[in-house]
Amino acid sequence: MRGLNNKFKLLSLLLTLNATNIDKAVEVDKLLNLGLALSELESLTKELLKDNLILSKDGAYYLSPSGLLAALSIFS
């Protein structure tokens, strides 16, 4: 997909899963379709949380407004 790194593949997946607010946060198991190992996915989510591109609640993740715009920028 347009030579994206894993970080942006994950943002893109959260976008298309409509995980754009806390009510639509998705569990890690739905993100495993990216084909990453769980440990890899965990370190990726840590990085994205640090950059404020995603937010989490009770182990589920959703895009922050900045993360949503970052995800959209891939395709615009």
Partner 1 sequence: MRIFILSWEYPPRIVGGISRHVEGIAEALNKMKNEVHIITLDFPNTPDFEDRGALIHRVKVEIPSQDFYRWVFLFNHFFEKRVGYIINKYGKPNIIHAHDWLTAIAGINLKHLLRVPLVFTFHSTESKRAMGIKSEESRMIYSIEWWASFEATRVITVSHSMKDEIIYLYNVPPEKVKVIPNGINLSKFNFSLDRSAVRKYFGLSDNEIVLLAVGRLTWQKGFDNLIKAMPLILQRFYNTKLIIVGEGHLRRDLKTLAYQLGVGDKVRFYGFLNDDDLLKMYKVTDILTIPSNYEPFGIVALEGMASGLPIIVSGVDGLKEIVQNDINGVVVYPNDPNNLANAIIKVISDREYYNWLVKNAHERVKKFSWESLCNELLKAYEEAIKNARFE
- Site track 10-29 with partner 1 (rule: CB under 8 A), x = hit: --xx-xxxxxxx--------
Phi, psi of 17 (to 5 degrees): -85, 5
Interface residue with partner 1, options 10, 41, 54, 68 (CB under 8 A): 68
Cα 10 to the center of its chain, rounded Å: 4
Indicate whether 76 belongs to the interface with partner 1 (CB under 8 A).
Answer: yes
Of 22 and 38, which has the nearer Cβ to partner 1?
Answer: 22
Taking 3-state DSSP, the helix, strand and coil percentages for the chain, each rounded to the nearest 5, stand at 55, 15, 30
Interface residue with partner 1, options 29, 33, 37, 50 (CB under 8 A): 33
